[in-house]
Structure 1
Amino acid sequence: MIIILFSIFPHTFAHAEEKTIYDKRMALFKKTEALSQIPWYYFAAIDNYERNKKQDSDDEKVISIEVPPELWYGLGNSSMIKDERLIVFFNGKGKDGDGDQKADPRNSEDILHTMANYLLEYGQTKDDIKIALWNYYKRDLSVQTIMNTAKVFKEFQDINLTDRDFPVSIAHNYSYRSTWGDRRGFGGLRIHEGTDIFANYGTPVKSTTYGVIEMMGWNLYGGWRIGIRDIYNIYHYYGHMNGYDDDIKVGQVVKPGDILGSVGSTGYGPPGTSGKFPPHLHYGMYKDNGKSEWSFDPYPYLRKWERIAKQKD
């Protein structure tokens, strides 16, 4: 009977399992918060960042934070024995979080307890945590991404944020095709780092994801544009907009479907330049792996999100 039910409703079982892994993670984050007095969403954001910077992440892994061996065991501790007393002797950071007398870098509770103790070395305030993260990652974008994700998790009090939306209103006329990688000539020969969605002036432009607005303003190529960093280490770029919604500002948390502004034809000149091409939204996506950031083709994702939006409509 179970086999028959699974064959009929495979997505139901997959969704239940997905909820279970989120529940396990949240329980660990809340436990670590209770022990350290550091808000749970910082641990959740660090874990989420680590999971999404990996090329082949294991979604079934409860905690994806990987503390470098030299930091966990201490420099010179080549034996990598998990005895916390030996780790302390070598000035390592590894801690026993579950009381089994071992500081195991593969144990979820040990990992979070170790990260909590590392953060506490710097303090418990938001600024303290930012300093701790910078010293850990030595990279501004990593710190910024984690802090943004923590802000989103705090806003929605949840880590299971998987909803998506199409970037223009499907109630309006629009058209698009795969244009990523096409040649562009303005400002010198370059490739097109996005998909153009053609629509009439004033067509609402929406957030496709959960994230934080990192950038707004004029760009020589993109005109009036908005940049949103999501919780999956991806930067979403909206270009050639006609204007912004009155409530939109840098640092704001957004969710799928939030109105950002409207379609326009701005760009290819000084601030205010418009009409050099038909009205459309340039939509770009950039992935960060913890070392570098690069553009990739958003077209397959747009097709998927379009289907999701139509199912909601």
Structure 2
Amino acid sequence: MICISAHSIAYGAESNQSEENQKLMSLYKKVETVTNIPWYVLASIDQYERNVRHSRKDIPKAEGLIEIYIKPEVWVGPLNPNKEDMNPISIGLFGGIGEDGNGDNKSDPKNDEDVLYSIAHYLQSYGTDLENLKIGLWDYYQRDKAVGLILGHMKLYKKYGHLDLDTHTFPLPLNHNFSYNNTWGDARGWGGRRIHEGTDIFANYGVPVRSTCFGVIEMKGWNRFGGWRVGIRDIDNTYHYFAHLNGFADGIHAGQIVEPGQLIGSVGSSGYGPPGTAGKFPPHLHYGLYKDNGRTEWSFDPYPHLKAWERSDRNKKKQ
């Protein structure tokens, strides 16, 4: 009789992820060496596209480790009659960006080194400094949001120097009293008919509110619905929304990098009116999650994630 614990399964998944990240880092560093495009730029583009791929059904599943998707007409050139062309010379003649990155005289859109080298070579034509890289990214994506998300990923990868940035924690310390149920999708009436895009965690005024992730603060300030609120974008293109705060932690500002468990504010009852309005409902943290899929952003239910993070935090306390 073989007994496999949940811990051993989790450890196995972590080991596989760690091994995959090591292989990815090796690829990023290899292409950095030959193009002078920093590894964290390449990692950020790949991570942005990985999240887009996993959020959409109209993009084919990646066949390798690198998940950057280059459309066939962009790879081979818009006027190239052969949409499966792998000849670097003819691809170049038709203005395609497909390159031979591994030296086999083929520009293969399913080969990790070819794909990564091709996007790096494309950016290299603009220059390797940040301002020119921004221009190259905008010309490629034609979307401000995409460029902004990639730049946020770049800040995180550059600061920490590794790819393992998917740790999460529960937004409130477990030594405080709190309660929450699955309220996502419930009807709301203030400000017009709408649905509740989050989970309400009820707690006393002043209970600390913490970042749930590694991320970059995209928004801090007042919203007539959410009151004093903070928005944090993580490495998975997910926006973490903390609303109805009583106040902010000292020094918190837009553009700042935060870590799981870092203090960002405290529980309050602000919102439902002009700046400073409070007390129209019991104190609680409204916590929401939003995913960007490369075209738009949509809300999804945070309740299962909150339960998992709470359970994980409790298990850590027992160890």
The TM tier, using the shorter chain, reads over 0.9
CA shift for structure 1 position 15: 2.4
**C-alpha deviations, 1:177-221, integer Å up to 9, x for none?**
011111111111111111000011111101111110000001101
Assess if the C-alpha contact under 8 Å between 1:166 and 1:305 holds in 2: yes
Residue 211 (structure 2) aligned to one of 203, 207, 226: 207
Does the residue aligned with 1:278 lie in a helix, a strand or coil? coil
Query: After superposition, where does 1:279-298 map in structure 2 within 5 Å?
Result: 279-298=283-302
Does the residue aligned with 1:118 lie in a helix, a strand or coil? helix
Aligned to 1:146: 150
Query: After superposition, where does 1:144-293 map in structure 2 within 5 Å?
Result: 144-293=148-297
Assess if the C-alpha contact under 8 Å between 1:21 and 1:60 holds in 2: no
Amino acid at match of 1:256: P
**C-alpha deviations, 1:27-84, integer Å up to 9, x for none?**
0111111111121111101101111112379698410001111111012222222110
Assess if the C-alpha contact under 8 Å between 2:166 and 2:235 holds in 1: no
Aligned to 1:69: 72
In structure 2, runs of 5+ residues without a counterpart are none
CA distance in 2, matches of 1:58, 1:76: 25
Q: Name the CA shift for 1:5/1:99 in 2 (closer, same or farther; >3 Å).
A: farther
CA distance in 1, matches of 2:313, 2:226: 26
Amino acid at match of 2:11: T
RMSD: 1.8
Assess if the C-alpha contact under 8 Å between 1:211 and 1:229 holds in 2: yes
Assess if the C-alpha contact under 8 Å between 1:166 and 1:208 holds in 2: yes
Quick check: 235-244 or 10-19, which moved more?
A: 10-19
**C-alpha deviations, 1:273-313, integer Å up to 9, x for none?**
11111110000111111011111111111111111111222
Residue 132 (structure 1) aligned to one of 128, 132, 136: 136
Q: Name the CA shift for 1:101/1:60 in 2 (closer, same or farther; >3 Å).
A: closer
Assess if the C-alpha contact under 8 Å between 2:231 and 2:242 holds in 1: yes
Aligned to 1:112: 116
Does the residue aligned with 2:166 lie in a helix, a strand or coil? coil
Q: Confirm or deny that 1:27 pairs with 2:26.
A: yes
CA shift for structure 1 position 16: 2.0
Q: Name the CA shift for 1:171/1:277 in 2 (closer, same or farther; >3 Å).
A: same
**C-alpha deviations, 1:216-257, integer Å up to 9, x for none?**
001101110001111111111110001111021110011111
CA distance in 1, matches of 2:207, 2:225: 20
Q: Name the CA shift for 1:89/1:142 in 2 (closer, same or farther; >3 Å).
A: same
Q: What is the percent sequence identity of the aligned residues?
A: 52
Does the residue aligned with 1:304 lie in a helix, a strand or coil? helix
CA distance in 2, matches of 1:59, 1:222: 38
TM-score, with length taken from structure 2 = 0.93
CA distance in 1, matches of 2:304, 2:166: 17
Assess if the C-alpha contact under 8 Å between 2:63 and 2:110 holds in 1: no
CA distance in 2, matches of 1:86, 1:131: 27
In structure 1, runs of 5+ residues without a counterpart are none
Does the residue aligned with 1:283 lie in a helix, a strand or coil? strand
Paired residue total: 311
Amino acid at match of 2:28: F
CA distance in 1, matches of 2:5, 2:282: 48
Q: Name the CA shift for 1:242/1:114 in 2 (closer, same or farther; >3 Å).
A: same
Assess if the C-alpha contact under 8 Å between 1:211 and 1:255 holds in 2: yes
Does the residue aligned with 2:276 lie in a helix, a strand or coil? coil
CA distance in 2, matches of 1:270, 1:211: 28
CA distance in 2, matches of 1:170, 1:52: 30
